[in-house]
Structures are given as C-alpha cells and as structure tokens.
Amino acid sequence: MTALATRVLRDPFFSTFGIMDELLNRMLGNGSGQRTWMPAVDVRELDEHYLVTVDLPGVDPDSVSIEVEGDVLTISGERPHVEDGQAYRLERPSGPFVRSLALPKGCDVDNVVADYRNGVVEIRIPKPAEQRPKKIALTTGEKKAITEKIAA
C-alpha cells in the first residue's frame, strides 16, 4: 500500500500574498493585529419568527456571545488557533469573530432563543404580533349551513 503525500512548495510569489493578507488584516481587522474572520450566516423569515443560522464548527459554545442591543443582533466569539506541529497549509480561520445584523423594528427581543448543535448556532427571533400571519379557519358548506340554522 502506498501513502499519499502532499508536496509543499515554498514559492516567494505566494509568500508575498501572505504578507499582503497580513497588512490588509491589520488595516481592516480589529486594530490589534489579531486576525478576525466572519462565519457564514443564513437569515430566513418563517411564519412566527426569523431564523438566523451561523456556522461555527470548532468553536466552543462557551466562547460564543449573542446579544441584542436596540435593533442589532451581535454574535461574537473565538476559534482557538492551533499551534501544534509544523503547518504546511492553513485554510481554516481562527481567532475572534463578530457578526452584527440589523433586526426589523418591533421584534420580540425578550424571547429570543439560541441553540448550538453540531457546530451550528440557530437563533430564533419572534416576529411582532402584527407581522405574524393571521390563521383563518376554513369551514365547509355543511358547517356553514348548520351555523346559519343555529343563528336563525
């Protein structure tokens, strides 16, 4: 049986991109020189609530903070940087992250519920009562006729 191996080439052209990436991160990052990243977020509107789904694989749920201030939902936390062994390729981001989303006016922020499962955070934000669809009971012709007889 033969083993598969990855050959890593040290190319000065690609190391230049690393330097440029670090400079951009310092200019656009959090100002401390520490790298930041943004987890993928989906936002869906359902009948009763808005559903925010955040991909956070490898992030300890105890390091995740979810806050609502005014009409802004903020999710923050940190994925630890792994220092073990010689790194040949690092594609998974690490370090602190912050995502902020504007909420529609009138959301019931006192009843927001968040759940962390399998590296995914699901946040349910109840809609205001006036924005929820009103359910209308559908009656058949028989019930209508019976209701009319009772009323008569």
| pLDDT the model gives residue 13 | 45
The pLDDT tens digits of the residues spanning 90-118 come to: 888 899 999 999 988 888 899 999 999 99
- Could you tell me the end-to-end alpha-carbon distance of the chain, in angstroms, rounded to an integer? 89
Which residue positions in the chain have pLDDT lower than 70?
Answer: 1-35, 131-133, 142-152
| pLDDT the model gives residue 3 | 41
Round the average pLDDT of the chain to a whole number and report it: 78
Query: DSSP H helical segments within the chain, as ranges?
Result: 12-28, 141-151
CATH classification (class only), 36-84+94-132: mainly beta
| pLDDT the model gives residue 71 | 87
Phi, psi of 13 (to 5 degrees): -65, -45
